[in-house]
Structure formats: structure tokens, C-alpha cells
Amino acid sequence: MEFSSDSVSIDMETISLGGKEYLVKTRLGMVSIVVFGDQDKPALVTYPDLALNHISCFQGLFFSPEASSLLLHNFCIYHISPPGHELGAAPIVSDDFSPSVDDLADQIVEVLNFFGLGAVMCMGVTAGAYILTLFAMKYRQRVLGLILVSPLCRAPSWTEWLLNKVMSNFLYFYGMCGLAKELLLKRYFSKEVRGSVLVPESDIVQACRRLLDERQSINVCRFLDAMNERPDLSEGLRKLYCRSLIFVVENSPFHSEALHMTSKLDRRYSALVEVQACGSMVTEEQPHAMLIPIEYFLMGYGLYRPTLSISPRSPLSPSCISPELLSPESMGLKLKPIRTRISL
């Protein structure tokens, strides 16, 4: 595939856990995109939450055999990292231009133009879900659909704003210190997997904690400050006509925000999935809870998993599918709310 654009160019290409990493020069500076799969296939663009990248935010989902067979069979995956969030990123010097959420959404267009992509499917988690929603509102012809996990759409509440300011100050003055990591882990995961005095942290939390140590705190500050100044998107959501699949998570600190967003979307084009006993980052904590809803969401686009690739015990096996999901509405004609529950 040939890439051409007046505004962006390849600077370096490396291998990242089986995918190719492209460092692309944009108006905001360099941005990392890790590409998995056949670039002749339709594109699925991902955007992670604050202080995360594709490894710490999407590895649990995409490394699941069932999800991999479904998503990589149908898409080429383009994992976009927020500026300075990729592995091995250098600190972004403080006198550089500090981006807004609009700038980050515009940067996605530059990336798509660089790879010669038209309309794409989008998947985002919390802050990443907000950036992709804003992108879909500004560039409607470039978005086929949205898969959003614990999304945000309103301006921050006073409580969130103050908490973000405290975290930003800690990151700026003390780096990725213990308190900053605890605030971030509480944002991502449920209390059950974060552990306690008597119960150790789960493996996914320990892995995420180690990956947070590699983040450049000043780069995280820039993304956090942009999100803390984000505008309210609520009024424009009714005019968002691409199909949307929203995962609302029981133990997420943003549970009410996600419910608010679903109330503002046109119900003809959106579906709500409630995931219980889980924190915000379903992609890592309960990735299997996403498989069936995503499969039936994609059926509305004529996309299917490959046959004979899933075991009878898989969550995607027909014998495990709820009759509710087999209705015409859930096949994409009119998506209806689905409730999932996975016991820990």
C-alpha cells in the first residue's frame, strides 16, 4: 500500500508485538500508530484511555482467540496512541503547543489521510471514547460506527475537574508516583481486581501498574489537561447517525456519564450493553463480555466471524447465545439494549 499526504509523513517503522509501528508526523507533532492485519481490509481505529496505549488498554481483548478471529478476520487494526503515550516515548517539552480535544480529533483525520483510509470503524475507552465521538461528530463521513467503552460526553463535573487537577499536579511535580498510579488504577479497574489488604492485586492490575511506570508523566499531563477542558457534546449526539454500541459498566466511576450519553443518542442507531461486576476498562478486565455484542453489532454491516474457528465452549458458540440476541432488531435492523453479566 502506498501512503501519501501533504501534511504527514513516515518517520520510523518498527515492530511492536507482531504489529508494525508507524511514527507519523502531524501538525501536533509525532503520533504512534501500531497496525495489525491486512491493510486491504476495512479499518478499525482504536484510541485508549488516559495514560494508556494499545498494549495496556486493548491487549486483553485483541489477544483473546475469539476476539482476534472475529476482528482480525474482518478488519485491519490501527491502534492510535495519544501523543507521547507510545512505548519508549520521550518527554514532550513544555514549550511545545499543548493540544485541545479538538486538536486530538483533527489529528485522527491526518492519520487516516496518511494511510489513505476513508470511513473507518472506531473503538475507544473513556477518554479515548470521547475523542472518537468528537471525531465522529466533526467528520461524519469518515466514521462507519462507534464501539465505546465507559464513554464520556459531558464537560467534567466539579468533582472530576478537581480530581484531575490534583492528579495533574502530582504528575507534574512528582512524576508517575504511587498516588498518581493509584488514582489511575481506580479509574480503570473494579475494587475486586485491585485487591485489598487480604486479597492480592490481580495479574492485569499488576501488569498495568508496571506499564504506567513507563509513561512520561508530562505527556500524560497534556492529555489529562485537554480532557479537563473538554466541552459538552450532549446536544450534538442526537445528530450522530452512525451506529453506536455503548458498553456501560457497573463499577466504573463514569457509569452515570455513560448512561447520560446513551440517553442522548438516537435509539434507532445505538445499543446499550450493561456489564456488571467490572471497572471501566472492560477490554482488560472482562473482554469476553464484549464478544457477543460486538459480533451482532458487526452483523449489521454484513461482517461475520470465520466459520469453524470457535470451540463449542466459546462464548460465541450458538448454544451460548441468548435468544434475545437472535432477534431481527439485534442483527442491525434495530439494535436493542442487551444486558450481560459475568461472575468473577
Residue 63 C-alpha cell reads as 489477544
For the chain, domain boundaries: 20-154+232-300
- Which of the 8 DSSP states describes residue 146? E
- The pLDDT value given to residue 95: 62
Q: What is the pLDDT averaged over residues 134-158? A: 97
Mean pLDDT lowest for which of 108-122, 141-155, 329-343?
329-343
* pLDDT exceeds 50 at position 37: yes
Residue 11's pLDDT is: 41
pLDDT at 199: 84
Structure-model confidence comparison of residues 305 and 225, the more confident one: 225
The percent of residues above 90 in pLDDT, for the chain, comes to 74
Structure confidence at residue 96 (pLDDT) = 58
C-beta separation of 136 from 233 below 8 A: no
* 300, three cell numbers: 449489521
pLDDT recorded at residue 69: 86
Lowest mean pLDDT among 91-100, 194-203, 237-246, 267-276: 91-100
Q: Give the count of beta carbons closer than 10 Å to the beta carbon of residue 178.
A: 10
d(CA 298, CA 71): 9
Distance CA 85, CA 32 (A): 8
The pLDDT of residue 4 is: 46
pLDDT at 320: 41
Which whole number is the average pLDDT over 31-53?
96
Question: CA-to-CA distance for 206 and 185, rounded, in angstroms?
Answer: 10
For 165-230, the DSSP string reads HHHHHHHHHH-S-HHHHHHHHHHHS-HHHH--SSSPPPHHHHHHHHHHTTS-HHHHHHHHHHHHTP
At 195 the pLDDT is 86
pLDDT digits (tens, 9 = 90+) for 64-97: 888 888 999 999 999 999 999 999 999 988 665 6
| 19 vs 286, higher pLDDT | 286
Provide the 3-class DSSP secondary structure of residue 148: strand
Question: What are 147's three cell numbers?
Answer: 464501539
Identity of the residue numbered 280: S
- Among 41-55, 189-203, 248-262, 281-295, the minimum mean pLDDT is found in 189-203
Average pLDDT over residues 135-146: 97
Please give the pLDDT value at position 258. Answer: 95
* Stretch 33-49: mean pLDDT: 96
**What are the pLDDT digits (tens) for 193-237?**
998 878 889 999 999 999 999 999 999 999 999 999 999 999 999
CATH code matching the domain that covers 20-154+232-300, chosen among 3.30.450.20, 3.30.70.2740, 3.30.365.10, 3.40.50.1820: 3.40.50.1820
pTM to 2 decimals? 0.86
Radius of gyration, CA atoms only, the chain = 19
State the Cα angle at 26 between 10 and 68, rounded to 5°. Answer: 65
| Distance from C-alpha of 278 to C-alpha of 190, rounded to nearest angstrom | 5
> What's the pLDDT at 198?
82
pLDDT at 281: 97
Strand partners, 120: 143
Q: What is the pLDDT at residue 318?
A: 40
| Element containing residue 186 per DSSP (H, E) | helix 178-188
Contact 275, 248 (CB under 8 A): yes
Q: Is the pLDDT of residue 311 over 50?
A: no
pLDDT of residue 94: 62
Q: What is the mean pLDDT of residues 14-37?
A: 84
Q: Which three cell numbers mark 136? A: 465522529
pLDDT value at position 306?
A: 76
